[in-house]
Amino acid sequence: MQFWIVQTLNSLALGGLLFLLAAGFSLIFGLMRIANLTHGSLFMLGAYIGVSILKFVPNLWLAALLGGVAVAAFGGLLERLILRRLAGNVLGQVLVTLGVAYIIADLCLMVWGGDPIPVPTPELLRQPIVIGGVAFPSYRLVVVGIAIITAIALYLLMERTRLGAMIRAGVDDMQMARAVGIPVSRLFTIVFCLGSALAGAGGIIGGPILSAYPGLDFDMLPLALIVVILGGVGSLLGAFVGSFIIGAIYTFGTALLPGLAYVILFLPMIFVIAFRPRGLFGKVTT
Partner 1 sequence: MSRVAWLALLAVLLAGFPWIAGEFYVNLTSQIFIAAIFAASLNLLVGYGGLPSLGHAAFLGMAAYLSALLYLKLGLGHWITAPIVLAATTLMACVFGWIALRATGLSFLMLTLALSQVLWGTAYRWVAVTEGDNGLRGLTRPAPFGISLDDPAAFYYFTLAITVLAIWIMARFVGSSFGAALRGTRDQPRRMSALGHNVWLIRWITFVYAGFWGAVSGLLFVYYNKYIHPASLSLTSSAEGLLGVIAGGSGTLAGPIVGAALVMILKNYVSAYIERWNMLLGFVFVMIVIFMPDGLVPGIRRLWARWKAK
Q: How far apart are CA 101 and CA 192, in angstroms?
A: 15
Q: Residue 46 contacts by C-beta under 8 Å, 6 or more apart in sequence? A: 64, 67, 68, 70, 71, 199, 200, 201, 202, 203, 204
Task: Give whichever of 41 and 150 is closer to partner 1, judged by the CB atom.
Answer: 41
Rounded least distance, CB 183 to partner 1, Å: 24
Residue 106 binds to partner 1 (criterion: CB under 8 A): yes
Decide: is 225 part of the binding site for partner 1 (CB under 8 A). yes
Side-chain-facing half-sphere of 225: CA atoms under 13 Å:
16
Among 222, 248, 268, 283, binds partner 1 (CB under 8 A): 222
Greatest distance between any 2 Cα atoms in the chain? 62
Q: Which is nearer to partner 1, 84 or 126 (CB)?
A: 84
Pick the closer one to partner 1 by CB: 92 or 122: 92
- The CA-based angle 38-247-39, given to 5 degrees, is 5
Stretch that binds partner 1, among 86-94, 154-162, 163-171, 198-206 (CB under 8 A): 86-94
Q: Does 260 bind partner 1 (CB under 8 A)?
A: yes
Secondary structure of residue 278 in the 3-state scheme: coil
Of 261, 268, 280, 283, which one interacts with partner 1 (CB under 8 A)? 261
Q: How many residues bind partner 1 (CB under 8 A)?
A: 46
Q: How far is CA 254 from the centre of its chain?
A: 20
Can you tell me the distance from the alpha carbon of 236 to that of 232, in angstroms, rounded to the nearest whole number? Answer: 9
Contact yes or no for 35/168 (Cβ under 8 A)? no
From the list 3-11, 80-88, 118-126, 137-145, the region that binds partner 1 by CB under 8 A is 80-88
Cα–Cα dist 112/279, whole Å: 38
Label the pairing between strands 134-136 and 129-131. Answer: antiparallel
- Residue 285 makes contact with partner 1 by CB under 8 A: yes
Q: Does 143 participate in binding partner 1 (rule CB under 8 A)?
A: no
Question: Residue 69 Cβ, how far from partner 1 at the closest point, in Å?
Answer: 24
Signed CA dihedral, 218, 109, 200, 34: sign only:
negative
Contact call for residue 29 and partner 1 (CB under 8 A) = yes
Q: Does 111 bind partner 1 (CB under 8 A)?
A: no
Q: For partner 1, which residue of 110, 124, 131, 179 counts as binding (CB under 8 A)? A: 110
In this structure, the number of other CB atoms found within 10 A of the CB of residue 202 comes to 33
Chain contacts with partner 1 (rule: CB under 8 A): 29, 33, 35, 82, 85-86, 89-92, 94-96, 98-103, 105-107, 109-110, 218, 222, 225-226, 228-229, 233, 258-263, 265-266, 269-270, 273-274, 277, 285-286
